[in-house]
Structures are given as structure tokens and as C-alpha cells.
Amino acid sequence: ETEFDLEAGKSKTIVINFTARQNTIPKLYQGKLIVKSGSIEKEVLIAIDVESKEPLFDVIVEIPDAFLQVVPGGEVIANIKLLEINQVGKVDVDLEYLVTDGEGNVIVSDKETIAVNKQANFVKSLKIPLDTKIGDYLFYVKATYNDKLASASAWFKVRPKTFFER
């Protein structure tokens, strides 16, 4: 269904299924869904994390409420959890952190390697550049071990500074 009529004050649920084919490269895919009604046009940002077929870890990213809106030059903080899916014991996991805009452009990144035994819980902070534009951004975490990739992401906003924050 590509078109439908909706009366004022009414709502409609639209289900969109995304399927990654067998040969899809594991990575972050970003795009937009554009919704139009007369002269009104809205964009809905979409991020899809495609993981390896049998990742060794599950990754969870949560941004605390206090950091869901940050200012340019501020920090976004995320709680990261790595949970072992397969019994691999203590291993070194390569982590890559990205903050991307709605177009998928990387505005800040970082990498590190951590030792994980069954699970790891930690906090990661990334400084938002001063010249970052106001808008929606994605905090993306990619965990790699033995060429297997697991990932997760969470949206947050960069907002203007208030008079008292200048």
C-alpha cells in the first residue's frame, strides 16, 4: 500500500519488514522513510544493524535519559553490554564506536579492544564536535571477534545551547 487517505485526528499503523539477504554485508545501513501529505513532508530516519549470521556476542546500547539530548561540544554517554551467545571463554573483542548523522556521515568515532569473559558492562562517552548541526544522531557500536560482527545502535538528539549554556 503506497497511498491511502486518512481523516484528520485518525491514525494508521504501517508495518514495514526489512530482510537482509544471505549475502548482505554485515554493517550499519541508514536511510529515510519520507511521508507526504499535501504540502507537508516528514522524514523518518531508519537504521538497520546487519550482523554476522552466527555472532558470538549480543550487543546492547542504552543512552540514559539525561543524554538523549546533548549540545554541540557536549558528551553523549551510552551504557554498553556485551553478552556471550556461544561459549567461547575469555576473548579480546574489537569495538568500534561511531556517531553518525541522519545521512550516515560519521561525525566522531573511537576504537578499542577489551577482554570479555561471558559478559561485559561498561559506559562509553563520545564528545560531540562543536560544529555539529542540530538534529538526530545515531550512537553505533560494532563488536568484532574472529570475523564475526555483532552491533547495536541508539538514537539521540543534538539540540541548541540555551542562553545559560553559552
Q: What letter would DSSP give residue 24?
A: P
The residues facing 79 across adjacent strands are: 62, 123
Indicate the pairing of strand 135-145 with strand 148-158: antiparallel
* Rounded Cα–Cα distance for residues 17 and 29 (Å): 14
* Rounded Cα–Cα distance for residues 112 and 76 (Å): 17
| Per-residue model confidence (pLDDT) at position 142 | 93
| Per-residue model confidence (pLDDT) at position 41 | 86
- Does the predicted model carry a pTM greater than 0.85? no
| Per-residue model confidence (pLDDT) at position 166 | 67
User: pLDDT (tens digit, 0 to 9) for every residue of the chain, 166 residues total?
Assistant: 777 888 888 888 888 888 888 888 888 888 888 888 778 888 888 888 887 777 778 899 999 999 999 999 999 999 999 998 877 778 899 999 999 998 889 999 999 999 998 889 999 999 999 999 999 999 999 999 888 888 999 999 999 988 777 6
Best CA proximity match to 98, nearest among 47, 55, 53, 135: 47
* Rounded Cα–Cα distance for residues 17 and 159 (Å): 31
